[in-house]
Amino acid sequence: MNKPRHPLDKPLRAARSAATGSALGPGYSAANSNTRIHGPRPFTLPQSPAQAPAAPAANLGLNSDRLRLQMVHRLREQGIVDERVLSAMQAVPRHLFVDQGLASRAYEDAALPIGYGQTISQPWVVAHMLSVMCDGRSPVRVLEIGAGCGYQAAVLAQFVPEVHAIERVRGLYEQARLNLAQGRARGRVRLTFGDGMQGLEHRAPFDGIVVAAAGVKIPEALLHQLAVGARLIAPEGTAHQRLILIERTGPSSWHRLELEDVRFVPLRPGTQT
């Protein structure tokens, strides 16, 4: 008997060979994971301007508001227009979600390591994914796959009443729980330690789903946990990845659109203690 097809089964482009390995996996590093791949690609927004030097860590507490304002200004110049997302990123102190030794770099337009072979996503990636997922919509219940350090969930919580976030790495789950307690999450984030590829069926349907790691294909379980009319955004692929936007158009129908080239850490099944 033939295996049932994925609802949006579609061949990926031929994968490019991976570069040398790292703690994040073959071809991944903190400099190139959870980021956009720059270049003359379709749908790619303009490159960011040169960044101002980062403030010394000792002065960050005094300068963080100004640095966040600069980050938001840069996001506007890069084409982010959703005021809900921009206001949320202005409100959430990103430096509280990274290691103290990296706090002075928190407002750079770059992904940063958060331990356990994972990274906090580039600010443009966070803003773009949330903007696209929420475009023309006012989601009430959103699911995040790959909570990491909790930053993206905290941003979502600024304008979404109910945020569910799943993290599969026990150490990161504990880190996110502490970060969210001090990172102005408004008590709206419900954090779960578990397998994000399975989603949260008992909390579905969701008005939006955002996935912060790349699988060979988007898990079918997540597609079925979308409400009709809702959107899921996720990276997909191995050596060659693209952001994929999926909108559920009916009980058994989904519309798929390929967006920018990106580079994310791999989406893995199960949990890690």
Active site residues: 121
Per DSSP bridges, beta strands 118-120 and 112-115 are: antiparallel
Q: In the sheet where 206-211 sits, what is the strand order?
A: 35-36, 253-263, 241-250, 226-237, 206-211, 141-145, 162-167, 189-193
Q: How far apart are CA 88 and CA 134, in angstroms?
A: 13
243: CB partners within 8 A, 6+ apart = 128, 129, 132, 233, 234, 235, 236, 258, 259, 260, 262
Per DSSP bridges, beta strands 226-237 and 118-120 are: unpaired
Contact between 159 and 84 under an 8 Å Cβ cutoff? The reply is yes
Q: Which parts of 47-203 fold into alpha helices (H)? A: 60-77, 83-91, 123-134, 151-156, 170-182
Query: CB atoms < 10 A from the CB of 189, how many?
Result: 24
Residue 29, burial from CB neighbour count under 10 angstroms (0-12, 13-18, 19+): middle
Hey, is 53 helix, strand or coil? Answer: coil
41: CB partners within 8 A, 6+ apart = 260, 261
Tokens 């899921």: give the residue.
232
Q: How far apart are CA 25 and CA 18, in angstroms?
A: 10
